[in-house]
A = this chain, B = another copy of it.
Amino acid sequence: MLINGGCPKTALSIKDALEALEGRWKLLILFSLSTENKRFTEISKTVAGITDKTLSKELKSLESNQLIKRTVYDTFPPTIEYSITEHGRSLENVLNALHYWGLLHRQKILG
């Protein structure tokens, strides 16, 4: 049985998490930023298949959920860099669990 199977409070916290992380891109962007801070074009290169429009939208959503930080450096022209926050790093267990399940699922279904 899954934890607190069917308990409405547990369902609520899972729903909170799924809403903050909705879609297939946010966790992949966080994963890409987990090694080093990156500029927009650098993220775009490491997250295969994402369009600039979607990346831009997802970065804003991640920033509003305090999962990443956007820093503007006073260079000429200005440099904009994205970094993962402590709160973003707290997703480590989620990424771990998804990684291992993804391996299992590929073996079973996509095999």
**Interface range for A:** 35 or more
Question: A19 contacts which chain B residues (CB < 8 A)?
Answer: 24
Question: A31 contacts which chain B residues (CB < 8 A)?
Answer: 2, 5-6, 10-11, 14
Q: Quickly give the copy total for this chain.
A: 2
Prevailing SS type, chain A contact patch: helix
- A1-19 interface mask toward B, CB cutoff 8 Å, 1 = contact, 0 = none? 1111110001111111111
Question: A13 contacts which chain B residues (CB < 8 A)?
Answer: 98-100, 102-103, 106
- A42-62 interface mask toward B, CB cutoff 8 Å, 1 = contact, 0 = none? 000010100000000000000
In the bound assembly, the distance between CA atoms of A30 and B109 in angstroms comes to 18
The listed residue (B10, B34, B91, B103) touching A5 by CB distance below 8 A is B34
Beyond the given A3-B99, A94-B101, please list 16 additional residue pairs across the A-B interface where CB-CB is below 8 A.
Answer: A2-B89, A2-B91, A2-B95, A3-B92, A3-B95, A4-B99, A14-B28, A14-B95, A16-B102, A17-B99, A17-B105, A19-B24, A20-B109, A22-B23, A87-B109, A91-B101
